[in-house]
Amino acid sequence: MSLEKTVKDSLHVGDLLRALRRKKRLTLIELGKKIGYSPAHICKVENGQEDAGDEMLKKLAKYHDVSYLDLCNIWAWAKKK
């Protein structure tokens, strides 16, 4: 699944982040261990209750092998909606 297709199918950026995580068949706990964030924080980001922040977006982009710039642009666009 391309990042572009995932974005088109997503209602908000949390959906995108969840879709990227699920694509790799990871639980919140597993992703948290890999990127150094708590499962609770990742869950809140996916649900739109908290912002990811630059450092988390960098780690997510690197882990999911997507462009950090694309992820930031999507994040900024989604926050404006």
CA distance 59 to 32: 11
Q: Output the pTM of the full model.
A: 0.76
CA distance 67 to 20: 13
CA distance 7 to 18: 11
pLDDT at position 44 is 94
Over the stretch 16-42, which tens digit does the pLDDT of each residue have? 889 899 999 999 999 999 999 999 999
Of 13 and 56, the structure prediction assigns the larger pLDDT to 56
The ranges assigned to domains in the chain are 3-75
Indicate the angle between helix axes 13-23 and 54-64, nearest 10 degrees: 40
Domain 3-75 sits in CATH 3.30.70.20? no
Highest mean pLDDT among 7-16, 25-34, 58-67: 25-34
**Is 57:71 a contact under the CB 8 Å cutoff?**
yes
pLDDT at position 4 is 55
